[in-house]
């Protein structure tokens, strides 16, 4: 219904669509680009592409799958464009480390989010992306396959390694304070 309204040029319907998907899409973008400012710029371009190409969406798959595929492709294109990607990752991670205050106290939501995001930035892009697609977007492996063009076996391996690496990074970051995360 919303998609049909957008196809007819209803900008308010598009606004609703953006509101619905922007945070999850930004999380996926951050998984690959590892930099929130850059990720938001790329996401703006993604939504512009979506608005201008919405007529080519034929509803063969769900809208979310179509959108996330554009998100993933745009991020990889951006990565190709940026030569000094490694520097950005390092700068951003350092910022996060500075912001984490690991005193003996129950962490608030924002602090928890910062720590988990730092840990996700530390693991491989593929693993972070697959983890978020599976657990945050609640997609099936077959849908992740369509979005990322990874094989089923790679997705399963990335999920397994992603979980392990996430725990390992969180252990390193928090040590005995890990129980404060939940």
Partner 1 sequence: MKDDLTTQLIKKSKVETTSDFTDKLIHKIEAQTELKKSRTRLFANALKYAIAAIIVICIVIPFFLDTLSFRITKTPLYVLCALLLLVSFNYILKLRDMEKSLQ
Residues in contact with partner 1 by the rule CB under 8 A: 11, 14-15, 18-19, 22-24, 26-27, 30, 36, 39-40, 43-44, 47-48, 51, 109, 112-113, 116-117, 120, 131-132, 135-136, 163-164, 166-167, 170, 181-182
Q: Given the complex with partner 1, which of 137 and 150 has the nearer CB atom?
A: 137
CB of 154 to partner 1, least distance (A): 18
| Proportion of the chain in helix, strand, coil states, percent, rounded to 5 | 80, 0, 20
C-alpha 77/C-alpha 126 separation (Å) is: 15
CB of 182 to partner 1, least distance (A): 6
C-alpha 100/C-alpha 118 separation (Å) is: 9
Give 37: exposed, middle or buried? Use CB within 10 Å, 0-12, 13-18, 19+.
Answer: exposed
CB of 158 to partner 1, least distance (A): 13
């Amino acid at each position: 219904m919303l998609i049909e309204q957008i196809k007819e040029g209803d900008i308010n319907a598009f606004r609703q669509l953006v509101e619905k998907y922007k945070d999850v899409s930004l999380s996926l973008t951050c998984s690959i680009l590892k930099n929130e400012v850059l990720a938001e710029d790329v996401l703006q371009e993604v939504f512009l592409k979506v608005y201008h190409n919405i007529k080519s969406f034929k509803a063969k798959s769900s809208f979310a799958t179509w959108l996330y595929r554009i998100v993933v492709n745009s991020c990889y294109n951006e990565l190709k464009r940026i030569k000094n990607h490694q520097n950005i990752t390092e700068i951003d991670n350092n910022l996060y480390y500075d912001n984490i205050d690991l005193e003996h106290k129950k962490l608030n939501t924002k602090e928890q989010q910062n720590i988990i995001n730092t840990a996700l930035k530390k693991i491989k892009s593929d693993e972070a992306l697959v983890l978020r697609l599976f657990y945050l977007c609640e997609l099936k492996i077959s849908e992740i396959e369509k979005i990322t063009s990874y094989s089923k076996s790679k997705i399963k391996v990335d999920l397994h390694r992603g979980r392990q690496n996430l725990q390992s990074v969180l252990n390193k970051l928090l040590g005995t304070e890990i129980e404060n995360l939940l």
